[in-house]
A and B are shown apart, each in its own frame.
Chain A
């Protein structure tokens, strides 16, 4: 028996708009010399590939390949490696999302480079509409996008995959335009692992049940899927059948966890330096926490050596510190983080990474006071945090910071080849030949 959720819709319509190699495309807008060349964008610290141009994908370089592993190929094929410039990508993303809002009153920003648009009740030809979206974003922002259109979000994701991988669709794939037989033929040609929410493990388990293609998953027995896996996967099957079970989440839910972690530019040996790094990450995380008006109930601190330095002794440890009272106070969070760090730090290792994660987040207004809470002190701390955030917003990041974050930041990030912040920094505007 199939459990169809009560809010499911039979004739919904969604578009998924997704930037092609988004980070690389952002770089190319301001540096046309990168057009047609193999380009990778490396993660924080120039660690591994987080975006690959089509030319790099064609060389068989996988996502998340460490830079040092592809250096031979890079030399041979002239791969251009850029440090990630998230300031630029975020600004370009905001422009793109804002522009896409003009195409539908219902938008769910799903990630930095993709969003769903609700197209229910649009009477026009959706493929044409998709092409308009594509051309508008390309012309106005300079970013190439693909558009997938379908009666459910899961199918829209799949349609986007088809639009990207199969040139005959010319960047826009409306699965709703296909007859059932044509659609099934297409789905029979796509691996089940491409379906939204089907990860590697699920894919293997499905394969063991002889479900290899999207079509096979679509036609699977929903009751069996629910029993063997979960209601979630059952819903995926329904979505593949064109029954929309997942609505648009138009208001981004507040984050349930806030993580701030980085790899160090060079290995760090001493507790003092780790303390600075942890303080600085806790500061950043606390800022994010206050921006979404939440308080954290616990803080997790972790440190680790580099798994790529195989000859080094390896150590990796984390600790979660529950806070006596949920807080958004940088000072309290740092104090807890420092205490945790002291518990897990072991001398004699070359640490490559550290981070903090704020957990058990709840809205700031609803916190519970403990028996020993000091309301006056809390108000003072709230004022202090307001001043801190206010000054840093106005005068620039890190104008005011806690000395425990360190001033030299010898552990800072390696960003050897970052492009300028073309769109957000007056001093770094793109140059044009006059």
Chain B
């Protein structure tokens, strides 16, 4: 028989708890409660206790005697618990059980917008580059802008591309018509870059988005 209750005379700051264990003469001491198991005491002292009818007299007797002056009745032992009993972990349910009328908005809940998903088509082949220079301002690409570049997209006539020219990465519009290949600047102050037979030019990737600080 185990009874747990909060010591009514304890100060509000320290919580003492006791187990009163009644040991009948022939009763085994094995099994039974684990320390710290069961319902945890609430901050307010609880008063209701439930005991077997056959033991009620003994318990009341004990409590009264204890209030009068502390004395352990024969056949009972008192175990003081630690001041900070070990915490018990409870599984946190991932969902709640609903009571009442369900919210009609629930059907319209969508996940949030993920820019990676929206702006990046080929994850492995996508790189960010930062622009330095003014040669593409008429295409809306300013100094300091960041570009999203996808290397998996085939460079086609008219697209804005990154090219490796003279050991440098450059952003220009790709021109490919009538056997002529050019990189066109979108700023009249900058010349286009033209290529002749045998000259090598590598298209690094295709620009898909421009990121601007506003």
Q: Which residues of A contact B (CB under 8 A)?
A: 30-35, 95-96, 98-99, 139-142, 376, 422-423, 426, 429-434
Chain A residues closer than 8 Å to B137, beta-carbon distance: 434
B115-142 CB contacts (< 8 Å) to partner A: 122-125, 127-137, 141-142
Query: Are B124 and A432 touching (Cβ within 8 A)?
Result: no
Q: Which of A32, A33, A423, A433 contacts B133 (CB 8 A)?
A: A433
Query: Are B130 and A430 touching (Cβ within 8 A)?
Result: yes
Chain B residues closer than 8 Å to A30, beta-carbon distance: 169
Q: Taking CB as reference atom, which chain B residue is nearest A96? A: B124
Q: Taking CB as reference atom, which chain A residue is nearest B190? A: A434
Q: Taking CB as reference atom, which chain A residue is nearest B170? A: A433
Decide: A429 near B130, CB < 8 A? Known: A98-B123, A139-B152, A141-B151: yes
Query: Are B168 and A33 touching (Cβ within 8 A)?
Result: yes
Query: Are A434 and B141 touching (Cβ within 8 A)?
Result: yes
Query: Are A432 and B125 touching (Cβ within 8 A)?
Result: no
| Cα–Cα distance between A431 and B144 once the two chains are bound (Å) | 9
Chain A residues closer than 8 Å to B184, beta-carbon distance: none
Q: How many A-B residue pairs have CB under 8 A?
A: 81
Could you list some 11 contacts between A and B, CB below 8 A? A32-B202, A32-B204, A33-B167, A95-B125, A98-B123, A140-B151, A430-B169, A431-B132, A434-B134, A434-B145, A434-B170
| Cα–Cα distance between A141 and B137 once the two chains are bound (Å) | 28
B77 at the interface (CB under 8 A from A): no
Q: What interface size band does chain B fall in?
A: 20 to 34
| Cα–Cα distance between A432 and B167 once the two chains are bound (Å) | 11
Q: Which of B122, B123, B171 contacts A432 (CB 8 A)?
A: B171
Decide: A434 near B168, CB < 8 A? Known: A95-B124, A98-B124, A429-B130: no
CB distance from A17 to the nearest CB of B (A): 14
CB distance from B161 to the nearest CB of A (A): 10
Chain B residues closer than 8 Å to A95, beta-carbon distance: 123-125
| Cα–Cα distance between A140 and B153 once the two chains are bound (Å) | 9
Chain A residues closer than 8 Å to B124, beta-carbon distance: 95-96, 98-99, 140-141
Q: Could you say which of B134, B142, B143, B204 has the most chain A C-beta atoms within 10 Å of its C-beta?
A: B204
| Cα–Cα distance between A31 and B137 once the two chains are bound (Å) | 24
CB distance from B212 to the nearest CB of A (A): 13
Decide: A434 near B133, CB < 8 A? Known: A32-B202, A140-B122: yes
Chain A residues closer than 8 Å to B131, beta-carbon distance: 431-432, 434
Query: Are A431 and B129 touching (Cβ within 8 A)?
Result: yes
B192 at the interface (CB under 8 A from A): no
Q: Taking CB as reference atom, which chain A residue is nearest B151? A: A140
Query: Are B133 and A35 touching (Cβ within 8 A)?
Result: no
Q: Which of B132, B147, B164, B171 contacts A32 (CB 8 A)?
A: B164
Decide: A434 near B169, CB < 8 A? Known: A140-B151, A429-B146: no
Pairs of residues from A and B, 3 with the lowest C-beta to C-beta distance, nearest first: A33-B167, A434-B133, A140-B125
Chain A residues closer than 8 Å to B86, beta-carbon distance: 376
